Amino acid sequence: MVKIFTFRDNKLELDNPNILLIPEFAIIFNRDVSKNKEQAFREFNYIYQRADYRAYPVRNGLNELEAHHYAVKTAQLPESYIVPKEIENAIKKYKDEQETVVIRLNNEILRSFNSAYATIQIINDSIKTLITKVKEVKKKHPDDTSQIDTYTSSIIGNQEKLMGISKAMPAQIESHKNYEILLKKEEDKKRMSYGGGVIISSMQPTRK
């Protein structure tokens, strides 16, 4: 894998020479004819946030829309930013270059955590609504046991769903920990293969 990005001390660092070796990235770099390459840097930042397994959206299992909004904000692009075909191609290329089986599996687990959290919120909201309905029925129609039983059964069903999620989580967490160990080993191996090349860090990357 060609090294393209490094995120250090809350700053994105670009390996300019390597970027120019990859057609999908060279297009983005070269089409920005400004002296300081500010737009190119912002779009590289966007690509990093969307595609790198170390970036916040991936590490937190954000879905595609959430990741897009986060990347736009972080890269300081307009809220109305529409991803050009060149950027889509660069994201795909970057994922193809960096993603191993371990990374893909770990990413899926992280996304499942995010989905589980969203599901738990929905179920909890449903339980709260059902409890409110039970209280209302008991207050207005205390003899309507059929309606109360229906709501109660739904509450129990939702609680069982929560239990099912909670039982599955420990195994997923353990898998995530194991993949993190494997990822660290992969990263250490990559660092050794890079040697002592210099990484140029700048908010205004310049052409080599």
One digit per residue, the tens of pLDDT, for the chain of length 208 reads 456 777 666 677 776 667 778 899 999 989 999 988 889 989 999 999 998 888 888 888 788 899 999 999 999 999 999 999 999 999 999 888 776 666 777 777 777 777 787 888 899 999 999 999 999 988 888 888 888 889 899 999 989 988 888 888 778 778 777 777 776 776 666 654 544 333 333 333 333 3
Q: What is the chain's length?
A: 208
Q: Are both 188 and 152 inside the same structural domain?
A: yes
Give the pLDDT of residue 170: 79
Q: Are both 91 and 10 inside the same structural domain?
A: yes
Q: Are both 75 and 37 inside the same structural domain?
A: yes
Give the pLDDT of residue 101: 67
Q: How many domains does one find in the chain?
A: 2
Distance CA 67, CA 65 (A): 5
Q: At what angle do helices 145-194 and 101-140 cross, to 10 degrees?
A: 160
Instruction: Flag whether 205 is in a domain.
Output: no
Q: Are both 124 and 164 inside the same structural domain?
A: yes
Q: Are both 54 and 119 inside the same structural domain?
A: no
CA dist 30 to 26, 36, 85, 91, 109, Å? 6, 12, 15, 17, 37
Instruction: Flag whether 29 is in a domain.
Output: yes
Instruction: Flag whether 200 is in a domain.
Output: no
Instruction: State which residues form the domain around 53.
Output: 5-99
Domain end marker among 99, 119, 147: 99
Q: Are both 35 and 10 inside the same structural domain?
A: yes
